Structure 1
């Protein structure tokens, strides 16, 4: 089992007669329902086994395998991907991180049997500020009494169990909350008031529920980990989910790019096709480069989850940048489709669904601004102790598909990392480029990004203490933004052997553009790079190949636009 087998089981998504294709997914979205046929096929595949480690009977052996399978679903229907399985993965990871062996086996058995685990963490009044969560659990004669509200929780009504984040102490600080693993069936009848689904512009099929409880009793054994360690456990678990989520963005963007190329190739304007217009070719080329950049940084972060303690910084950085790049690419591609980019019917209607779903998905688990805030405390420390000082990362970090040690949540730390090997790699590549007189465009880019790293180091060293907190200045947040771009640039440079020449230059050019300043490429060089990128994207579209670094061929013979 794997992504290719899942692709085959789901069939050609562009075939309008496929009951598990885009047309059926769009119809379900119009009804604001989960995609029923998609769910039936995922049950046949046994999707939940992808979330459970092999030690507990599942198929989870590496983060990149999990991401590969999930990207297949996100290309088809993000609501299905988030609602059928990934919301359970978010809940399960917290059990895996904090639970006893018995609790882990109980949760694994539930998932492997086709059940669901919801993750009831956030509250609308507090957003990503978990330390301020008000939902309370208090001890009472050998049990816990639960009181409070949780809103906008994926699959809450139809989940057999849920992981609950609740306040267990009235004092402020990091030891005031705990986690609980609760079986829905074990709750006393009538103790839960289900709240209506909140409306949403995207992910309309995702079952977003809420609940309200008052003095609802649960057994003492439902506590996950030790009392007061809920926030610490969540921060460790979030490193896993935040490292995996960025890779999903290539899914809806692949579908959007496929729709745009298909439309431009068939739309006739001024005696030629829209695809013959230089502007259209440039937009498609740039979107393809953005997708490859997203894939490069997410690939490295997925492997860092197994190999590097710096994943606590890499994960929010990638989550922030990939969602931002994907949304920008959607807006650019919409200019190619014009009115077709908004229509909810017709051969290109999947574009508007993907655009809406991708925008909503960027808030799954953590918002972009919260990602930047999570990064800030690490930057001055790394600027002082690591950047330009640490050796390059081990080569295995940049070998997609290479062997990895088992994913071990016990090795994840909630503290800021003391080393940043990816930036060490960027510094080494940049120094090497600077030593080569008259180097080509790739060497010029490497030197440019290394210089940007030196400037970032100086700026981060000058940050006052207040600028590494949630109340940091806009200038401090901008430094975190710049770090995320350098992380992607370092990833692309380290993976340069995986790119064609024009692909690498296109990716680096798009990333450099996010930093501002003088262009590395001349106008003529950029025009040549973008033309080669467009031709490569058109060839992948024609040959039914993915637009990511794998270029894997998709099943089917026709049907795509």
Structure 2
């Protein structure tokens, strides 16, 4: 079954989220959230659909082919209930990617069989004492006296750790410092001896209340030599390679949250009247709605292009993945905050037509720190900046145009070709200049060129500043102004993605001109001096999508209801 057909099937299965009578809709999701419970009926529906098959590559019997297709399928779930998206699916996705990247044939077969039988696998990298610095994790695996390994230590705040069949654990296997000090251990919980493992209590949370966030502690737990994923000491390298897929895909899936938040706000502005007029007719309200719409299109463009890069530019995606996690998560959260201003006191109501908004807002918050904090992503990008500044940002070669043809079939995901460093190559940045040079002579494209040229200038400024960095600037204690370089670079990548996606689609330039203006102003650049010119047409497009029950992202998919 093709990805679009699977999307249609999933939409039909889950039904209209705004229908109070739908047992899988928003009212039922809110009820489960209020009780801090897993949304059981929806999980049963996803079992029937076998959502886990979306995480298993085709070569192992699943449906995973294109990372962009995976994003679209999971966005359908996140649009309804972020807790369901994380708690049912993404936890197993994060875990399994490590095994697809470095696991043995026996391990990959076991993980595939486990997921395809609707069981779950949890990953445990971080520890509360060390936050995002999982290289300092103290959970240990030590050689056993008669072979194998002995596990000792605890992991906290792990999604699905209690009910998962399997665990992927990052464990210290060498006391010496360095990148070879940790390994990943795959554990089948059903083989753990009595008394060697105990569950820890769930940590209370403001958002994602329907997700099982627990902990686990091991005491002298034996596992076989074959439990190590890849080679001993390869754990951090495998994680950094796998993060390129998860840091790209998960924020892009979460764009579904903004889609629903924007839809709820559009409902409110159409229903609510102030001073004898609809709230939707107020210019400032329309500005905020259009800004959120543009942010969604920006996030979708960057996220899907980076997802396609995993297939087409696998050696370069270490930078793109962190850029997506930083920029997409930030823009999604900022846009939802702006929409809450439109809703006013209604944004925190837990009952009524707009009650789903407060849940979406709470559930989105972990996007900024869950799995990897945004500032941690900037820190992982920073060491590559000097080489990119000298090689990848000075007359860079553009990427294959297929990178921007959203929806076009992709080759199989090459997990083995993902690299920890891009080696100074940057096809997405290179495509920026190529796209600017392709713009025509018409008045609209000339106006677009004026804005787009500002990003070419920004890339030149970044190259100059990046080449001047000293090795002492690149550590974990980097100054704020130094961390600003990869942050600005992420904005340039977003501009390149938007411009090139627009060229590939050849549609109305209003959205891309407005999107580039918004991105340019975030960098302190001039943007488009007629930026308000496109606001009313964009609002009318947004209102038309809302009336026609179509998604607000690039796909413009028809939705139930």
TM class by smaller structure: over 0.9
Question: What SS is found at the alignment partner of 1:282?
Answer: helix
Contact 2:444 2:509 in 1 (8 A): no
TM-score (norm 2): 0.96
Is 1:538 aligned to 2:543, yes or no? yes
- Please state if 1:449 is matched with 2:455: yes
Q: Give me the whole-angstrom Cα distance separating, in 2, the residues matched to 1:500 and 1:34.
A: 43
1:16 alignment counterpart: 20
1:137 maps to 2:141: yes
Partner Cα distance (1:417, 1:354) in 2: 39
**In the TM superposition, what is the alpha-carbon distance from 1:439 to its structure 2 partner?**
5.8
Would the aligned equivalents of 2:327 and 2:491 in 1 still touch at CA under 8 Å? yes
Corresponding residue of 1:98 = 102
Q: How does 1:50-89 map to 2 (within 5 A)?
A: 50-89=54-93
1:275 aligns with 280
- The DSSP-based 3-state class of the residue aligned with 2:549 is coil
Structure 1's unaligned 5+ residue stretches are: 557-561
The alpha carbon displacement at 1:437 in A equals 10
Q: State how far apart, in whole Å, the 1-side matches of 2:514 and 2:41 are.
A: 39
* Pairing 1:223-262 to 2, within 5 Å after superposition: 223-262=228-267
Sort the Cα spacing of 1:302 and 1:155 in 2 relative to 1 into closer, same or farther, 3 A: same
Structure 1 Cα separation of the partners of residues 247 and 324 of structure 2:
8
- 2:141 counterpart SS class: strand
**Aligned residue runs from structure 1 range 338-349, under 5 A:** 338-349=344-355
Q: Alpha-carbon deviations, 1:161-204, whole Å to 9, x = none?
A: 10111000110001111111101111111221211111111111
Worse overlay, 203-212 or 360-369: 360-369
1:46: how far off?
0.6
Secondary structure, in 3 states, of the residue corresponding to 2:331? helix
Structure-1 separation of matches of 2:66 and 2:205: 33
Query: Is the counterpart of residue 115 in structure 1 residue 119 in structure 2?
Result: yes
- Distance, in Å, in 2 between the alignment partners of 1:254 and 1:403 is 25
Name the structure 2 match of 1:514: 522
- 1:45 alignment partner in structure 2: 49
Alpha carbons 1:119, 1:164 under 8 Å: kept: yes
Other-structure match for 2:10: 6
Alignment of 1:366 onto 2:375: no
CA distance in 2, matches of 1:271, 1:10: 38
Partner in structure 2 of residue 222 of structure 1: 227
Q: What is the CA–CA distance in structure 2 between the aligned matches of 1:463 and 1:393, rounded to whole Å?
A: 27
Aligned pairs for 1:171-182 (under 5 A) are: 171-182=176-187
Displacement, 1:429?
3.0
Aligned pair count reads 553
CA RMSD of aligned residues (A): 1.5
Deviation at 1:470, TM superposition (A): 1.2
* Cα distance, 1:233 vs structure 2: 1.1
Report matched runs for 1:323-342 at 5 Å.
Answer: 323-342=329-348
The whole-number CA distance in structure 2 between the counterparts of 1:435 and 1:72 is 40
Q: 2:202 is matched with which residue: 197, 200, 215?
A: 197
- SS across alignment from 1:179: strand
Alpha-carbon distance in 2 for matches of 1:437, 1:18: 49
CA-to-aligned-CA distance 1:192-232 (integer Å, 9 cap, x gap): 12111111111111101101122122222211111111111
SS of 1:377 mapped into structure 2: helix
The CA deviation string for residues 522-559 of structure 1, in whole angstroms up to 9 with x for no partner, is 2xx32221111111111100000000011011122xxx
Three-state SS of the structure 2 residue aligned to 1:151 is strand
> Which string of whole-angstrom CA distances, capped at 9 and with x for unpartnered residues, describes residues 245-296 of structure 1?
1211310000000011110011011111000100111110111000000000
* CA distance in structure 2 between the partners assigned to 1:438 and 1:526 by the alignment: 12
- Deviation digits for residues 470-513 of structure 1, max 9, x if unmatched? 11111111111100100000001111143532211221121112
- Residue 331 of structure 1 deviates from its aligned partner by 1.0
Identify unmatched segments of 5+ residues in structure 2: none
Q: Whole-Å Cα distance in 2 between the matches of residues 317 and 165 of structure 1?
A: 24
Q: Deviations over 1:150-170 (max 9, x none)?
A: 000000000011011100011
- TM-score, with normalisation over the residues of structure 1? 0.96
